Amino acid sequence: MNKKLQLLIALVLVAGVAYWLISRQPWSTMGELKDFSIKDTSSITKMFFADKRGHSVLLQRDENNVWMVNNKFVADLAKVQLMLATMHDVEVRNPITDNEHNNVISILATDGIKAEYYSGKKLIKTIYVGSSTPDLTGTYMLVDGSSKPFVTHINGFVGYLTPRFITSEKLWKNKIVFNVAPDEIKSISVNYFSDPHQSFVIENGALPVIKQNNIALNGDQKFLKYYLACFQNMYFEGYSEAKQQVMDSVKSRIPFCVIDLTKKDGKKIKLQVNIKAIDKSTLQQEDEHGTPLPYDTERYFAFINDEKDMVLIQQHVFGKIFRTPQEFLLKENARQ
């Protein structure tokens, strides 16, 4: 056997041994055990998230292709799309070391979030999501059925992915309060409890009519139509972090106003608005004379329908619907 052939055989043997040794390392497991992504996210019809504290949430597309939260609330589409993009782009950054293994497994066992993804009734992927790496740029994850966790990331994104795997029902809910087109509105009533004489009702028939104390007023049609158009794309800012006892106390107080919107299909939306005390987050705490303001002029507490959660709404968003009957009778240039 000539030397060239011997050398070729030796190289092949060395390459084979090297491959075998590499393949025996902890990180070189079966491909599916480190494949965290779902490339065809359009096939996902249901997602389920659960943590070790007993919180769980189900997201599912209904027959109208609308994502729902626990079959009760419309989901925040931006968060749904972010989750789908996360599952499309997530990839392994690096394997964990042998020294890290037990600690990471312990983290996943005690604080991990279970995430399931379905296409129809078929479960297509289950992963367990842990905490961030010490440098806050990677996320510990484990594919169901594997004994080997990995550090994952999204290429180009600086940060960790755990906060995207939400197990709170209310944090998945859409923040919309009113999103009703004018031609879908049957009536709107605005009741000011501190000043009932400013309360009014708008009935939206062939032409909208404003009534005060059940008496029709000579309202300006342009302004009435403008007002009806205001009840679209109106979102609350966020949820109050107050304890339930505090929220119940606020809800039981006399509200600033209650707005009831009835749609032509019979569905109703109720918004109870309560005055909010000034706190450290309030930007304007004094008037132009330096006198402390009696309450927050930028934000209100609010309750939507019969839900227990208290939300925050902003004056610059909702102020346009806090009108009085007299404003509907003013000249056009005085209403801006």
> What confidence score (pLDDT) does residue 6 get?
47
Under the banding of pLDDT at 50, 70 and 90, the label for residue 332 is very low
User: Which of 172, 191, 209 is the endpoint of a domain?
Assistant: 172
- Structural domains counted in the chain: 2
| Residue 8 lies inside a defined structural domain of this protein | no
Say yes or no to pLDDT of 9 above 70: no
| Residue 253 lies inside a defined structural domain of this protein | yes
Q: What would the pLDDT profile of 74-120 be if each residue is shown by its tens digit?
A: 999 999 999 999 999 999 999 999 999 999 999 999 999 999 999 99
User: Which of 116, 142, 172 is the endpoint of a domain?
Assistant: 172
- For range 279-308, the mean pLDDT: 79
Same domain, 183 and 325: yes
User: Which of 125, 151, 172 is the endpoint of a domain?
Assistant: 172
Same domain, 286 and 262: yes
Domain that residue 75 falls in: 31-172
> What confidence score (pLDDT) does residue 159 get?
96
| Residue 20 lies inside a defined structural domain of this protein | no
Say yes or no to pLDDT of 255 above 80: yes
Weakest-pLDDT range from 111-125, 152-166, 259-273, 283-297? 283-297
Q: What would the pLDDT profile of 125-144 be if each residue is shown by its tens digit?
A: 999 999 999 999 999 999 99
Return the percentage of the chain with pLDDT > 70, whole number: 85
Same domain, 145 and 282: no
Q: What would the pLDDT profile of 158-190 be if each residue is shown by its tens digit?
A: 999 999 999 999 999 999 999 999 999 999 999
| Residue 5 lies inside a defined structural domain of this protein | no
Cβ neighbors of 128 (< 8 A, separation 6 or more) are: 108, 112, 113, 114, 115, 141, 142, 143, 144, 149
| Residue 24 lies inside a defined structural domain of this protein | no
Same domain, 88 and 36: yes
